[in-house]
Amino acid sequence: MSSHPEKASAFLTDEPRAHWHDQSVWFVRVKRDRQAKMIPEWEQLRETAAGIKSHTISRMAEYLEEFEKNATANGIHVHWARDAAEHNEIVYRILADHAVTRLVKSKSMLTEECDMNPYLEERGIEVVDTDLGERIMQFLHQPPSHIVMPAIHLKREEIGELFHIKLGTTKGASDPNYLTEAARGHLREKFLAAQAGLTGVNFAIAETGGVVVCTNEGNADMGTSLPPLHIACMGVEKIIPGTHELGVFLRLLARSATGQPVTTYTSHFHGPVRDGEMHVVIVDNGRSAILNSKEHRRILSCIRCAACANTCPVYRRSGGYSYDYTIPGPIGSLLAPLRDLRKYSTLPYACSLCSSCTDVCPVKIDLHHELYTMRQEVVKQGILPLHKRIAMAAMRWVMSVPWAYRMAGKLMRWLVPRLPRALVYSKLNTWGRQRELPPMPKKSFRELLKEERS
Amino acid sequence: MPTVGLFIPCYVDQLYPQVGLATLHILKSLGLNVEFPEEQTCCGQPMANIGCTSDAEPLAKRFLHIFGGYEHVIAPSGSCVSMVRNHYEQFLSGQPGFEHLRSNTFELCEYLVDIARVSRVDGEFAHRVGLHMSCHGLRELGLASDTERMVPPFNKVRGLLSQLRGIDLKELSRPDECCGFGGTFAITEEAVSSLMGRDRIADHENAGVEVLTGFDMSCLMHLDGLIQRAHKPMRVMHVAQILENARLS
């Protein structure tokens, strides 16, 4: 059992840092607003993207098969993995067949989801994450805390300290340019020595049988141009029908994710490099179960831009680790319980239902409503703590009987002001930890109304 | 003049009776025939939001039974109205009168602007005011454009308040961030909820706000609790309490 409130409270013990985290992430939301505002047809674009996604999801199998056919014709080897274990085995087999012991990796949350790095490392393969944020997290042996900005929770001084230890940078140096340059030099060696490159996939195009990866650092290109072997790993939901549709998503993705008009690199891979090999591993890992659920199917529309996390007032103030799942934020609060409802039962409640995520989502997933529905799942499965179920049942009873409601209200208003403060604000009063209780007026509205009338 | 049903959310009835009275006085001043059905209690939102549908359903049915016959139903709360409009379908779909109820239940400001067509607010409120745009009214009822969607800006509540003489409506750095109330969220995620609230208050404070207003007393109850605890000079008022003293036409 993972508890979001507990982990969030721990994060909030350092309040200045929590505020700093909130502001760093909010800054990205503001950048997103600025970019979105510059597109007069932004809302139409979102609508179109949502339409394309729901169409594609409804014909997922056909498009995936079309992709396989066209990719194969392009000389790409296509593999199908039912789950994380199969995915890891397939990747390992490909690498073992080519006697690869040094792999460079770029832009893949899916391999995080599949826990691939440790699996390959145990089998003697060095895996180097080449994107700066991911590399930082790999040095720390920690997972990303955000799906687009994995090290957003770290201050540059901390990164300076880490690089001093790992890369021998000057002690106390925290200039981002200097640190980035140091990482570059270090990674250049890794690129040159790599025998294979692994990337994620942002979009797989059925019509052309190719995949597209959007990056800012260009590591996907480096990692796939230097070594002869390229493995691209994708979840089934990355499929889109054609290049026309690609245009719609490319306009939305970077603007929503980082507030850039477009990522620095949009790399199209439509076959192996000369004398090389290219493999695409298509992974299900629970996605077809989501496809089969009428209530949650739309979640598969997600293009992993993290705009929902950036706008989420809870994510910003509780940090990525409070979700205890590969993908944090509102979309993660849906994906995690769909994987294991019992373990992640507090995530649907890590949400004030403010619905900012729904309005920011570039593919119009009704995230807050999905979270609302997921709570019903928690109750249906009997996972909601008993005291809450009893409280709700009691409240329902009181509210169903007008005299009981009037009496309960009257009693509360009479009693609370008469009790000693120490008792009212005891440990049991969670509301009162940081807040005063509302005033307890002598008379209710309905009582005053009667007086006004008489 | 139509007979309208006055829907006073349970916590407003018990804890903020003056907000209920202000709402009643505003509606009466428009010449409406206002009825307050005595048997009303709670719309069932707390149970629904926690996922206890079997506890929410009977209250939804009660609500339809009590309010189904009115031409319009009006409440000084965006959140409770959103419950009726956006979440009752699961419980009441296909029931006679539900479609009418759903499309004729209004938040107060929404009613004033869209149905009663109030275009003039004649009154005075010479204070520095911060407007809290509670999420359900903002994004689920569409009382204003939010900062996420790229649509032409509008704000029905601000449109009413800004006409008051002497009012100084302050701009916030985050005009529509959630205050962290969220119903049971305020308890289950107490730490995050309280910080969200304190951050909202700080934004209003930095803007020089004296009176923090809004259309959902629940959010204001949470914010006021934090304000009182910190002994800040700011006070909260429901928008109905500000509009009560103005002449609406």
The reply to whether the predicted model has a pTM over 0.95 is yes
Is the Cβ pair B199, A26 closer than 8 Å? Answer: no
Contact between A84 and A286 under an 8 Å Cβ cutoff? The reply is no
Asked if residue B207 and residue B93 are part of one domain, the reply reads no
Question: What pLDDT does A454 receive?
Answer: 80
Q: Is A177 exposed, middle or buried (0-12, 13-18, 19+ CB in 10 A)?
A: exposed
d(CA A435, CA B172): 23
The CATH number of domain A39-154+195-288 is 3.40.50.10420:
yes
Is the Cβ pair B192, A8 closer than 8 Å? Answer: yes
pLDDT tens for chain A, residues 1 to 454 = 889 999 999 999 999 999 999 999 999 999 999 999 999 999 999 999 999 999 999 999 999 999 999 999 999 999 999 999 999 999 999 999 999 999 999 988 999 999 999 999 999 999 999 999 999 999 999 999 999 999 999 999 999 999 999 999 999 999 999 999 999 999 999 999 999 999 999 999 999 999 999 999 999 999 999 999 999 999 999 999 999 999 999 999 999 999 999 999 999 999 999 999 999 999 999 999 999 998 899 999 999 999 999 999 999 999 999 999 999 999 999 999 999 999 999 999 999 999 999 999 999 999 999 999 999 999 999 999 999 999 999 999 999 999 999 999 999 999 999 999 999 999 999 999 999 999 999 999 999 999 988 8
Nearest to A434 among B18, B150, B229 (CB): B229
Name residues whose C-beta falls within 8 Å of residue B160's C-beta, 6 or more positions apart in sequence. Answer: B109, B112, B113, B118, B121, B239, B243
Asked if residue B169 and residue B100 are part of one domain, the reply reads no
The DSSP symbol for A273 reads P
Residue B65 is part of which domain span? Answer: 3-115
Region B32-50: what's the mean pLDDT?
97
What stretch of H or E contains A199?
A: strand A196-199
Nearest to B194 among A313, A372, A435 (CB): A435
Token digits for B118?
Answer: 């109030």
Which one, of A289, A287, A283, lies nearest residue A204 by Cα? A283
Question: What pLDDT does A1 receive?
Answer: 83
Instruction: Please report the number of interchain residue pairs, chain A to chain B, with beta-carbon separation below 8 angstroms.
Output: 216
d(CA A252, CA A243): 15
Tell me if chain B has a CB within 8 Å of the CB of A415. no
Q: What CATH number corresponds to the domain at position B185?
A: 3.40.50.11810
Tell me if chain B has a CB within 8 Å of the CB of A435. yes
Asked if residue B132 and residue B234 are part of one domain, the reply reads yes
**ipTM passes above 0.95:** yes
- The region that residue A144 occupies, defined by phi over 0 for left and psi between -120 and 50 for alpha, beta otherwise, is beta
Region B177-201: what's the mean pLDDT?
98
Asked if residue B38 and residue B147 are part of one domain, the reply reads no
Tell me if chain A has a CB within 8 Å of the CB of B141. no
Asked if residue B174 and residue B235 are part of one domain, the reply reads yes
Of the residues B115, B148, B173, the one at which a domain ends: B115
Of the residues B115, B130, B152, the one at which a domain ends: B115
Asked if residue B162 and residue B101 are part of one domain, the reply reads no
Reduced DSSP (H G I as helix, E B as strand, rest coil) percent helix, strand, coil of chain A, to 5:
55, 10, 30
Tell me if chain B has a CB within 8 Å of the CB of A400. yes
Question: What pLDDT does A452 receive?
Answer: 86
Tell me if chain B has a CB within 8 Å of the CB of A366. no
Tell me if chain A has a CB within 8 Å of the CB of B189. yes
Q: What CATH number corresponds to the domain at position B74?
A: 3.40.50
Asked if residue B198 and residue B144 are part of one domain, the reply reads yes
Domain residue spans of chain A: 39-154+195-288, 402-453
Contact between A258 and A148 under an 8 Å Cβ cutoff? The reply is yes
Does residue B1 surpass a pLDDT of 80?
no
Of the residues B115, B134, B150, the one at which a domain ends: B115
> How many domains in chain B?
2
Question: What pLDDT does A242 receive?
Answer: 98
d(CA A278, CA B151): 44
Q: Does residue A385 sit in helix, strand or coil?
A: coil
Q: Which of A43, A379, A415, A445 to mutate to test binding with chain B, by most B CBs within 10 Å of its CB?
A: A445
Q: Does residue A428 sit in helix, strand or coil?
A: coil
Residue of B nearest to A409 (CA): B14
Helices (H), A319-444: 329-339, 356-360, 367-380, 386-400, 402-415, 421-424
Asked if residue B161 and residue B102 are part of one domain, the reply reads no
Tell me if chain A has a CB within 8 Å of the CB of B16. yes
d(CA B54, CA B125): 45
Asked if residue B148 and residue B54 are part of one domain, the reply reads no
Amino acid at site B235: R
- HSE-CB at A77 with a 13 A cutoff on CA atoms is 11
Is the Cβ pair A393, B224 closer than 8 Å? Answer: no
d(CA A234, CA A253): 17
Which one, of A206, A217, A210, A345, lies nearest residue A278 by Cα? A210
Longest C-alpha distance within chain A, in Å? 95
Strands B3-6 and A126-129, how do they pair? unpaired
Asked if residue B157 and residue B172 are part of one domain, the reply reads yes
Question: What pLDDT does A199 receive?
Answer: 97
Asked if residue B204 and residue B126 are part of one domain, the reply reads yes
Query: Smallest CA–CA separation between B224 and chain A, in Å?
Result: 8
